[in-house]
Structure 1
Amino acid sequence: MTPQELRGLFLFEKLDEKQLGWLSERGRLEQRTAGSFVYREGEPATCFYVLLSGTVALSREMHGDDVETSRTEQRGVYAGSTQAYLGDRVDQTYKNSLRAISDSEFFVLAADEFATAVRTWFPMALHLLEGLFFGYRAANSLVNERERLLALGSLSAGLTHELNNPAAAAVRATEALRDRVAGMRHKLALIADGRLDGSRLHQLVELQDTAVKQAASAPSLSALETSDAEDVLSDWLDERGVVNPWDIAPTLVAGGVGVPWLETVADTVGDTYLDSAVRWLAYAIDTELLMGEIDDAVTRVSDLVGAAKKYSQLDRAPQQTVDVHELLEATLTMLRAKIPTGIRIVKDYDRTLPEVPAYGAELNQVWTNLIDNAVDAMGTTGTLSIRTWGDDNNHLLVGIGDTGTGIAPEIRPRIFEPFFTTKGVGEGTGLGLDISYRIVVNKHHGDIRVESRPGDTQFIVCLPMTQEEEPGPEGPEGADASPGSSAAQDNAPTGPRPGTP
């Protein structure tokens, strides 16, 4: 191609004769027939292409299919190894596929020749481009890390609140238990001071064992049933001279004790020791109930710690086969303090789905962002739905929905852009969905999409069930990892802004 012909292309129109001659000597012309690929996504980026004639289309591979993202016939648009000037500091592969829609002709320059031209002819521009590229990537990485730290801080605050409740309950129950044990020793001394024969004392201990076992499995009563039962026991105890029976009755009812059992106690010890015996037995029942509270509190703490461990995946390698349902449950546990009581959670899990290869901790970040957004969209009331299912293409899908106001059609195309948010100043960074997109699409080779109308918004995450090739250095933190980033089009056929596809 002659220097004069090259000057007719907008990309080269400002070059001098020497530079145009250099390009003319090193470049070549190539033709592609309609329907053929110029290059394919993932191949080594060896050439820089400038369209001379014909129509071309750019596509990305999604779930095994080539999805067309743009199409153009504008002479002079370019694509291919546009990042060759960065050398081995970035992954030099084609980030998409270029296909000839009609018979097409290209001016082709080898990637290393293109890199030499950029470095030699535009040194200042090169420094600017490098600064923008690596600066953007570094800044984006720092901002993403800050977003993660903010999310971690919020979750830590919620976890602390959740842990405080059962821990405080355990402390209160332990203090009360100490008092009950002391009281039980005192009452036992009153009834076992030699005036109660051994056989009746033995019977009383057996009644205590029965009461303790009965308390461990006492049925739950409604408030009205509890009040009626306490009145009956108070009346019975009062008739037999037990002091302040209303203090004892609630414990006896909570332990499942009724009048027939108390009559057995009265027959065993007689009226003289009935007060001390009933109080001793009440202490035993109360002790069992308190130990049950402590057990429940400690179990709750253990469950929360287990959920935090699953959420962080600290004990696992970065990538493992994971049960998505365990990740979702761990995330819900971590977010419990942030979800208003007026929001109902509906789960529809397909438990037959297999484990999938994934970065568990990062998927939990995705669930956190989506659930947090869903809760914000609903306010204090609504329904949060979480569903899992599989499709025919060997993918596992997770749907997270809300009954909020929905996403307006005019902003829906922008929701995955970094720093785009509809929240007020200081309420959101606009990075939650951008980070989620990077994790799902770039790191897991999956897909994330949204369906929204007033009262029903669904974010659907699609994950491959089988292992795929590891992403290159560009993802998920790379500058071209997000559909909303300005660098996302680095390999798109490029030309003047009005004509850029």
Structure 2
Amino acid sequence: MSEEEYLWLAENGLERCARAGSILFRAGETADAMTILLQGEIQVHRDHNGPMAIFIGRAGQITGLLPFSRMKTYGGRGQATSDVWALQYPREMFDEMIRAVPSMVQRSVSVLVDRAREVTRLEQQAEKLAALGKLAANLAHELNNPASAAQRSAAGLLSELKVYGRHKFDLGSLCMDEGRLKALHGWQRAIVERAQVSKGEPSTVEEEELFNWLQARSIEDAWKICPDLCEARVTVADLEELDGLMGHTSLSIVLGQFASSRRTERMAQAMVDSTARIFDLIAAIKDYSYMDQAPIQDVDVPQSLETTLTMMQSRLGRTSIERNFQPALPRISAYGSELNQVWTAILENALDATHGEGCIRLNVKREGESVVVEIQDDGPGIAPEIQDRIFEPFFSTKAPGEGLGLGLDTVQRIVRRHRGFVTVTSEPGSTCFQVRLPIEPLQAY
């Protein structure tokens, strides 16, 4: 700038000073002046699950309302982090300032572009961190259940093995001949095989009959043995048969050993099931993130949706999922992890709309050289007057602090990167997001 321009700015600016720690403006207050910082530093924070710095102004920088800006209110809380000395220029002086300092046009536009770029970057980063936090919470919940079940089973198994060992020792003390051993093994095998094919749950009447039979014969720990026998679908007739084979004096030992073995097997099976669930979740994490794979893969779209649902299992609650996947769909060439971000964002919105209690329908089909994915929910719908705005960055219908308004903007950017497009149709009781992706993006031009 020329010396005359510097002189005009110095003579016409309104001098402002503030102590370190002072609040200069708050979010939502009217922005009505441009500020040139001569000394000190200002930080602007926006509250979203805690304060997030979106701008840091230092000596020599221009901030506040700028010429040609559509800014009406401050987007965050401005605070002086050190003693501030600045010059301010009210909105009413902008025309005069541009005539007196023509270079301010270029400077203002440059600052506006840099500001928009930086704020967008920070907001997108915050959106990613928020999505990561949700994903981590879902995973923690999903992993906690099988891990807790495995821990309980392991602890129970440790004590039960001691009981089982004692029962085996007692059983050995009976010194049964080969014929009685064979008969006992045959009885136990028949019970186990029948239990494997039995359906439904035993009734309380059946359990009461078993307990009365055991008590009438003074069977040791009848209250503890009875539930295990009932779960194995043992009947009074089975007990009568065993009583005839073994005799009354041996019955307590035999039944105690059998019930203990059933408990031990059940605990071991619970550990196997729980650890299998953990490994399934680990596999789902790898599939979701496409860990250890090239950036672009041949993606199975229905499987991609299933993997995303697995990762969001704890959020589904009582939501029912209806699937309609066209068979023999071709794989598409895509950034797999990014597509999973698309499904996650749309499903998150659907779950928010239905409050975890509605129905979500997933349709995947082929149309020409594209794969079409439709995610439909039965929530209240999107108001017609805002349907054209839902893909705008920072537009959100959620309460402050619950969303940045970048979820669907991210969806649109990712889909466009794949040479596809996303649309929405909505009415009360039905909202459907349709994502159309070319099978071969290079052929989509």
Same fold (TM over 0.5): yes
Task: Kindly state the Cα deviation for residue 403 of structure 1 after the two structures are TM-superposed.
Answer: 1.0
Match of 1:396 among 364, 371, 378: 371
The 5 Å alignment of 1:298-447 reads 298-341=275-318, 343-392=319-368, 394-441=369-416, 443-447=417-421
The 5 Å alignment of 1:132-151 reads 132-133=112-113, 136-151=116-131
User: Following the alignment from structure 1 to structure 2, what is the Cα–Cα distance between the partners of residues 305 and 282?
Assistant: 35
Q: 1:192·1:201 contact (CA, 8 Å) conserved in 2?
A: no
The DSSP-based 3-state class of the residue aligned with 2:424 is strand
309 and 417 in structure 1: CA distance in 2 versus 1, 3 angstrom threshold: same
What is the one-letter code of the residue matched to 2:245?
T
**Matched residue, 1:61:** none
405 and 194 in structure 1: CA distance in 2 versus 1, 3 angstrom threshold: closer
What is the one-letter code of the residue matched to 1:437?
Q
User: Following the alignment from structure 1 to structure 2, what is the Cα–Cα distance between the partners of residues 126 and 339?
Assistant: 51
User: Following the alignment from structure 1 to structure 2, what is the Cα–Cα distance between the partners of residues 403 and 282?
Assistant: 49
**Matched residue, 1:62:** none
423 and 370 in structure 1: CA distance in 2 versus 1, 3 angstrom threshold: same
**Matched residue, 1:293:** 270
**Matched residue, 1:263:** 240
Task: Kindly state the Cα deviation for residue 416 of structure 1 after the two structures are TM-superposed.
Answer: 0.5
Structure 2 portions without partners, runs of 5+? 1-101
Query: Alpha-carbon deviations, 1:252-307, whole Å to 9, x = none?
Result: 12223333433343233211110011010111111112222122211211222221
The DSSP-based 3-state class of the residue aligned with 2:384 is coil
Is the counterpart of residue 468 in structure 1 residue 442 in structure 2? yes
172 and 422 in structure 1: CA distance in 2 versus 1, 3 angstrom threshold: same
Q: 1:265·1:278 contact (CA, 8 Å) conserved in 2?
A: no
User: Following the alignment from structure 2 to structure 1, what is the Cα–Cα distance between the partners of residues 112 and 404?
Assistant: 21
**Matched residue, 1:453:** 427
Q: 2:124·2:406 contact (CA, 8 Å) conserved in 1?
A: yes
The DSSP-based 3-state class of the residue aligned with 1:328 is helix
Task: Kindly state the Cα deviation for residue 333 of structure 1 after the two structures are TM-superposed.
Answer: 1.3
Q: 2:363·2:375 contact (CA, 8 Å) conserved in 1?
A: yes
**Matched residue, 2:145:** 165
Task: Kindly state the Cα deviation for residue 131 of structure 1 after the two structures are TM-superposed.
Answer: 4.9
Task: Kindly state the Cα deviation for residue 455 of structure 1 after the two structures are TM-superposed.
Answer: 0.5
User: Following the alignment from structure 2 to structure 1, what is the Cα–Cα distance between the partners of residues 413 and 258?
Assistant: 63
Q: TM-score, normalised by structure 1?
A: 0.64
Q: 1:218·1:254 contact (CA, 8 Å) conserved in 2?
A: no
What is the one-letter code of the residue matched to 1:440?
V
129 and 314 in structure 1: CA distance in 2 versus 1, 3 angstrom threshold: farther
The DSSP-based 3-state class of the residue aligned with 2:442 is coil
Q: 1:218·1:255 contact (CA, 8 Å) conserved in 2?
A: no
219 and 194 in structure 1: CA distance in 2 versus 1, 3 angstrom threshold: closer
Task: Kindly state the Cα deviation for residue 128 of structure 1 after the two structures are TM-superposed.
Answer: 5.0
Q: 1:437·1:448 contact (CA, 8 Å) conserved in 2?
A: yes
**Matched residue, 2:219:** 242
**Matched residue, 1:204:** 184
Query: Alpha-carbon deviations, 1:441-488, whole Å to 9, x = none?
Result: 1x10100000000100000000001132799xxxxxxxxxxxxxxxxx
Query: Alpha-carbon deviations, 1:396-455, whole Å to 9, x = none?
Result: 0111111111111111111100000011111111000001000001x1010000000010
Identity between Structure 1 and Structure 2 (%): 38
User: Following the alignment from structure 2 to structure 1, what is the Cα–Cα distance between the partners of residues 234 and 399?
Assistant: 58
Moved more, 198-207 or 366-375: 198-207
470 and 135 in structure 1: CA distance in 2 versus 1, 3 angstrom threshold: farther
Match of 1:175 among 142, 155, 171: 155
Moved more, 202-211 or 178-187: 202-211
139 and 318 in structure 1: CA distance in 2 versus 1, 3 angstrom threshold: farther
351 and 129 in structure 1: CA distance in 2 versus 1, 3 angstrom threshold: farther
What is the one-letter code of the residue matched to 1:294?
M
Moved more, 297-306 or 276-285: 297-306
User: Following the alignment from structure 2 to structure 1, what is the Cα–Cα distance between the partners of residues 327 and 115?
Assistant: 44
4+ residue runs over 6 A deviation: none
User: Following the alignment from structure 2 to structure 1, what is the Cα–Cα distance between the partners of residues 349 and 371?
Assistant: 22
**Matched residue, 2:74:** none
298 and 214 in structure 1: CA distance in 2 versus 1, 3 angstrom threshold: farther
The DSSP-based 3-state class of the residue aligned with 2:432 is strand
The DSSP-based 3-state class of the residue aligned with 2:340 is helix
Provide the aligned C-alpha RMSD in A.
2.4
Q: 1:399·1:459 contact (CA, 8 Å) conserved in 2?
A: yes
Q: Relative contact order (alpha carbons < 8 A, sep ≥ 6): 1 or 2 greater?
A: 1
User: Following the alignment from structure 2 to structure 1, what is the Cα–Cα distance between the partners of residues 405 and 222?
Assistant: 62
User: Following the alignment from structure 1 to structure 2, what is the Cα–Cα distance between the partners of residues 237 and 340?
Assistant: 42
User: Following the alignment from structure 1 to structure 2, what is the Cα–Cα distance between the partners of residues 182 and 218?
Assistant: 30
Query: Alpha-carbon deviations, 1:24-80, whole Å to 9, x = none?
Result: xxxxxxxxxxxxxxxxxxxxxxxxxxxxxxxxxxxxxxxxxxxxxxxxxxxxxxxxx
User: Following the alignment from structure 1 to structure 2, what is the Cα–Cα distance between the partners of residues 237 and 445?
Assistant: 72
Query: Alpha-carbon deviations, 1:225-245, whole Å to 9, x = none?
Result: 332221232233233331342
Task: Kindly state the Cα deviation for residue 250 of structure 1 after the two structures are TM-superposed.
Answer: 1.2
137 and 314 in structure 1: CA distance in 2 versus 1, 3 angstrom threshold: farther
The DSSP-based 3-state class of the residue aligned with 1:390 is strand
Moved more, 156-165 or 310-319: 310-319
User: Following the alignment from structure 1 to structure 2, what is the Cα–Cα distance between the partners of residues 312 and 260?
Assistant: 56
The DSSP-based 3-state class of the residue aligned with 1:414 is coil
User: Following the alignment from structure 1 to structure 2, what is the Cα–Cα distance between the partners of residues 361 and 126?
Assistant: 40
Task: Kindly state the Cα deviation for residue 140 of structure 1 after the two structures are TM-superposed.
Answer: 2.5
Q: 1:208·1:284 contact (CA, 8 Å) conserved in 2?
A: no
User: Following the alignment from structure 2 to structure 1, what is the Cα–Cα distance between the partners of residues 442 and 105?
Assistant: 37
The DSSP-based 3-state class of the residue aligned with 1:410 is helix
Match of 1:219 among 191, 198, 201: 198
The DSSP-based 3-state class of the residue aligned with 2:321 is strand
Q: TM-score, normalised by structure 2?
A: 0.72
